[in-house]
A and B are shown apart, each in its own frame.
Chain A
Amino acid sequence: EVQLLESGGGLVQPGGSLRLSCAASGFTFTTYGMRWVRQAPGKGLEWVSAISNDAGTTYYADSVKGRFTVSRDNSKNTLYLQMNSLRAEDTAIYYCARSGVTTVASIFYYYMDVWGKGTTVTVSS
């Protein structure tokens, strides 16, 4: 069964750090890009970060650029999100998602086809 399982969430003080993990199983992890998406309490979805299958390319939302770092260990089938200088507005459920792709008429269409259940991060004093 294709599965993603996030861990590492918790309560942290403003200015603190946290590292989230996402363990993948049931598919060939090394062939997929991966993404982090978050959802603040009662709010919509916000894309946070992305990493290519070989970790050669990373992207970040402006709201986390310079504070968050995405990485992966393909030998462990695990995705990470290192979060530093945390702020109250970073409080959210953090989901990892697989970045699927389909080619139609030589055009690559990317989407998030598999999602984890999420891990909750609360930034508060």
Chain B
Amino acid sequence: DIQMTQSPSLLSASVGDRVTITCRASQSISKFLSWYQQKPGKAPKFLIYAASTLQSGVPSRFSGSGSGTDFTLTISSLQPDDFATYYCQQSSTSAWTFGQGTKVQIK
């Protein structure tokens, strides 16, 4: 199976900060990468597909980039509603896999 590794695992930031989360695949996955946001006690929320395309309704402060093995999720100006855990997920093979998650907490 393809392994997905996110960094950092924990990120402390303040409202208004620019935040970047990195996701690395153990082999090339082209652009078959999605991002999800999860808040405590809630189901994940779909944010981005094809590495960089925002799902309808997702604020434009979120952006994704990358292809091959290295990807990033950027929040241009962190808002109070953005404190959550973020997961990348590959769909290059039939066995989809997630990164271990990055928790974005208040500094």
Contact = CB atoms under 8 A, between A and B. Distances in A.
Contacts of A112: 34, 36, 44, 46, 89
Contacts, number: 65
Interface residues of A, number: 24
Contact of B91 (A45, A46, A110, A118): A110
B84 interface: no
Interface residues of B, number: 26
> What's the dominant secondary structure at chain B's contact region?
loop
B87 interface: yes
B105 interface: no
Interface string B47-76: 001100101000000000000000000000
B96 to A, nearest CB: 4
Given A62-B1, A111-B34, A44 B99 contact: yes
Interface of B: 1, 31-32, 34, 36, 38, 42-46, 49-50, 53, 55, 87, 89, 91, 94-101
14 contacts: A44-B101, A47-B95, A47-B98, A50-B96, A61-B95, A62-B95, A102-B50, A110-B91, A112-B46, A112-B89, A113-B46, A113-B55, A114-B46, A116-B43
